[in-house]
Structure 1
Amino acid sequence: MKEYNITVVATNNPKILKFEANHFLVKGQYEYKNIDEAKDSPLAQQLFYLPFVKTVYIASNFVGLERFDIVEWDDVKNEVAQQLVEYLNAGEPIVIEEGSDKKQPITVYAEVTPNPAVMKFVCNKRIVPATFEFKNIDEAKNSPLASALFHFPFVKEVFMDENYVSVTKYEVADWEEVNMQLREFIRDFFSEGKEAVAAEAIQKSNATKQQQQTETNYDDTSQQIIDILEEYVKPAVASDGGNIQFQSYEAESGTVSVILQGACSGCPSSTFTLKNGIETMLKNMMGDKIREVVALNG
């Protein structure tokens, strides 16, 4: 039986908190404004007995709660997290989903990326709640999927995000020769109900992210850069099978450092293209505060 743990994650809206679980909860996405709307969710119904709960969101591996102004989250979040842990570990139903007893057919298709060494394999389901990057089989010990992929001698690196896996190959193999093999392997892996990343690794990732949010006090300029990257750059990068992370901002030199992951890492063209694209965008949006963007491979 799965053992659930909950990590409390802040959102951009101070009235909404995410309670992230270390296992997936539901296949779909659900929003309930009141207890009548929550007829198909025993969990949401129970949460509405808390007088401060205004809206309940349930999706993937988290429960999101919007509060009324009668309380502050700091006063009640720990009690809510504990209640969720007890409910989930009791094996109580979360959402009664239509067709939940039927096995979900898994489809996987391959997409080329700007990096000729990287192929993106996209699934019709969410496979991880956050980004995970594995440079070798030792780093992949908590990822059953990455560990299995590294047994292919031509697999160099593995990157996962949301609903896709980006695989970096060695030059010894051509994609025409191994593309179908990898696609079918990934499809069969998920068809058997296996998890891409172990629950413990997801929980550790959530805890690390929360700790970083607590410990890191970005200055206003750094936070503005992060917001721009999140809104304008990351979606485009993700569509190419990669990711970009803010590393630092040096006010004196006006230098922004970012880390490229997945298909973007080591790509012959993306470092130049992204560096100049991001540099132009940040200069246009933030003026003289930005003089240079340095792109580093993850």
Structure 2
Amino acid sequence: MFIQTEPTPNPNALKFLPGRDVAVGGSREFLSIDQATASPLAEALFELEDVTGVFFGGDHISVTRAEHGRDWSALKPEILSVIMDHFVSGAPLMRDAAETADHAADDSEIVAEIKALLDSRIRPAVAQDGGDILFDAFDEATGVLSLRMRGACAGCPSSAMTLKAGVEQMMRHYVPEVTSVEQVI
């Protein structure tokens, strides 16, 4: 098994591409060892010193390290070993395959339009950088759209610029009801 790695715009996150599907049913993020118990792979990665975040995308795994932790040259081989051992073992990605239900039927027309634009144009671009962006809320009275950054994008120094210069402009162009975009932390 050959696992490629790619840098992300976040210097504390690295993207690992195992050459196979990772999170088929939707992306997942783990920010602590307690959350990671839902996944054997995430739990094994959190057992490594200096791992502070794990994100599963459709075809990749993004790992975030502690800001002042070990250098990638020391941490990367350990991460590669854990990922390889997991996929070679044939263990499932998640211990409980239950997924949360999507309440798309409850969405207003504007929210459905926002989510469609996120899924078709924005999320694929963000995934290339090892992260994800999720709809959180839309206030129809003020036009404020709240989004949640995950994976490598969550702590990235350029995420605020991505939201304002890229996502907000695109949203305002295609969905004029959106007046501004804010990041939910």
TM-score (norm 1): 0.59
Equivalent in the alignment of 2:121: 232
Q: Tell me, what secondary structure is at the counterpart of 2:141?
A: coil
Equivalent in the alignment of 1:252: 141
Shift of 1:153: 1.4
Q: Tell me, what secondary structure is at the counterpart of 1:181?
A: helix
User: Does residue 184 of structure 1 match 2:81?
Assistant: yes
Equivalent in the alignment of 1:137: 33
Equivalent in the alignment of 2:49: 153
User: Does residue 209 of structure 1 match 2:101?
Assistant: yes
Equivalent in the alignment of 1:196: 93
**Percent of residue pairs identical:** 33
Q: Which has the higher contact order (CA 8 A, sep 6+)?
A: 2
Equivalent in the alignment of 2:181: 293
User: Does residue 241 of structure 1 match 2:130?
Assistant: yes
Equivalent in the alignment of 2:167: 278
Equivalent in the alignment of 2:111: 222
Cα distance change on mapping 1:213 and 1:220 into 2, 3 Å: closer
* Greater Rg over alpha carbons, structure: 1
Distance 2:2 2:91 in 1: 15
Kindly tell me the number of residue pairs found equivalent between the two proteins: 183
Shift of 1:127: 2.4
Equivalent in the alignment of 2:58: 162
Give structure 2 stretches of 5+ with no counterpart: none
Is the 2:32–2:46 contact (alpha carbons within 8 Å) kept by the matching residues of 1? yes
Runs of 4+ in 1 over 4 A off after TM superposition: none
Is the 1:276–1:293 contact (alpha carbons within 8 Å) kept by the matching residues of 2? no
Give structure 1 stretches of 5+ with no counterpart: 1-105
Equivalent in the alignment of 1:263: 152
Distance 1:111 1:188 in 2: 20
Greater Cα shift, 271-280 or 117-126: 271-280
Distance 2:163 2:8 in 1: 14
CA RMSD of aligned residues (A): 1.5
User: What is the one-letter code of the residue matched to 1:160?
Assistant: F
Deviations 1:147-182 (A, max 9, x none): 111111110011112221111101221112211221
Q: Tell me, what secondary structure is at the counterpart of 2:114?
A: helix
Shift of 1:271: 2.4
Distance 1:265 1:224 in 2: 24
Is the 1:275–1:295 contact (alpha carbons within 8 Å) kept by the matching residues of 2? no
